[in-house]
Chains A and B, each alone.
Chain A
Amino acid sequence: TQLLEQSPQFLSIQEGENLTVYCNSSSVFSSLQWYRQEPGEGPVLLVTVVTGGEVKKLKRLTFQFGDARKDSSLHITAAQPGDTGLYLCAGARRSNYQLIWGAGTKLIIKP
């Protein structure tokens, strides 16, 4: 069974601080996606990374795919209350492209 370990599970920080969320696996993925979910809503896709070592930026969010395509990180600079939510990573299996999901990181940014 392919697992995707996400850490930390919970993070509560002050507005303006920086943070990093990690997504790790022993398996290689064809791509990795990051989603953000707000309470009572479905996850919303933030980014897809495909190439090992790839870095993508979305305003204050920086996503990186590991060189070996087994891990990924999400870094938020100067976090704002609007960044609050559940962040989920999902890796696409190479065999059938089924998504394997991390358990999520619940992020709270306090004003």
Chain B
Amino acid sequence: KAGVTQTPRYLIKTRGQQVTLSCSPISGHRSVSWYQQTPGQGLQFLFEYFSETQRNKGNFPGRFSGRQFSNSRSEMNVSTLELGDSALYLCASSPFFVGTEAFFGQGTRLTVV
């Protein structure tokens, strides 16, 4: 069974640009969550999608958005990038809801210059 796939693995963007990250969950998993991880702040929850609906949302500005498609694949978008958005962005999929168990992808390392 294939794991969670995140693309791209690495990304360098300029301040002010926007970026879209992609996540393909494990086949059959309906919940996809996104996290931002930085050395100083640890793992911060962005949002969770279940059956194309955003179910939970963390405390991030509106520049961070996401969506889930009918095949459970998910994308997250960050607009007007800031230097502080540099982080490892992790996607996790779960069979039903994230509170049971989360299977993470390898992450996308975003660097904003």
How many A-B pairs have beta carbons closer than 8 Å: the answer is 59
Total interface residues in chain A, CB < 8 Å = 23
Interface hits, B70-113 → A, CB 8 Å: 88, 90, 92, 97-107, 109
B80–chain A nearest beta-carbon distance, Å: 26
Interface of B is mostly: strand
- Which residue on chain B has the smallest CB distance to residue A6? B42
Q: Which chain A residues have a beta carbon within 8 Å of chain B's beta carbons?
A: 30-31, 33, 35, 40-45, 48, 88, 90, 92-93, 96-99, 101-104
In the complex, A101 Cα to B104 Cα: how many Å? 14
Decide: B103 and A93 in contact? CB cutoff 8 A: no
Q: Which residues of B contact A41 (CB under 8 A)?
A: 106-107
Provide the bound-state CA to CA distance between A90 and B100, in Å: 11
Within 8 A of A (CB), among B34-73: 42-43, 45, 48, 55-56
Residue of B nearest to A30 (CB): B99
B32 at the interface (CB under 8 A from A): no
Nearest 3 interchain pairs by C-beta: A97-B99, A42-B104, A92-B99
